Amino acid sequence: MRSCSVCRCVPKWQYQKLLSRLFQVTNEPVLLHKPGSTERQKLDSTLDTMIINGPYHVPICIDSNELSSGQPRRQILHSKTLVNFYHASGEQIKSAIESCLIARKTWSRTSFDERAKIFLKAADLVSDKYRMELLASTILGQAKTIFQAEIDAAAELADFLRFNVKFASGFWAAIPPFNFTAIAGNLASAPALMGNVVIWKPADTSIYSNYLVYRLEVH
């Protein structure tokens, strides 16, 4: 098997030289959130704060620019607005594609180990620092129960990011379903891990949790 000159793929036989060969993956523990538990208290507090401080603003993100376009739309929480956001214009979509293709020249030549370290750090942020915010945004924005949010936005997303380091493959458009924060984060991050560039178009009804995943990966 030869390395691809276009997408800079890594042949399987070379994987013994990579971080993925040494990195041991274990599943992220699922927290039970029993009444009175520490994690339940933290989540309840985060939910209250998120409701009080809303509505939030989610811009169109191209490079490091935060943009708007036309009239704002709403991700609703029953009669309350959780998030105001925008649909990108045709010109903004074109600009995002051009920006991705420029970034690809550098990103595709970044070593696998360096790309892996970025997403492994993101997994750690999911499982700790941003865990409760991700759970709260998924519960409020996507009408999930606490347990459904826990196995999706925390445990499964962290597992996706870590286990992807163990797997090996142009230009991607990530258009995830509305009801799984983990799948949304995985669809956008897995191709990037392999040196590709990605345009991420979240579902209108899961815009806030997807934006938080984007922000923590930027972090």
- Whether the CB-CB separation of 18 and 10 falls below 8 Å is answered with yes
Confidence band for 17, pLDDT divided at 50, 70 and 90: low
- Residue 70 neighbours by CB distance under 10 Å: 9
145-196 tens-digit pLDDT: 999 999 999 999 999 999 888 754 567 889 999 999 999 999 999 989 888 8
pTM: 0.77
For 129-181, the DSSP string reads TTHHHHHHHHHHHH---HHHHIIIIIIIHHHHHHHGGG----EEEE---TT-H
Q: What is the mean predicted confidence (pLDDT) over 31-53?
A: 98
Residues in CB range of 73: below 8 A, 6 or more apart: 84, 85, 86, 87, 204
Peptide bond into 176 cis (omega under 30): no
CA 61, 66, 68, 72 torsion-angle sign: positive
Residues 178, 199: Cα–Cα separation, whole Å: 16
On average, the pLDDT of the chain sits at 89
- Check residue 54 and give its pLDDT: 95
The more confidently predicted of residues 17 and 165 is 165
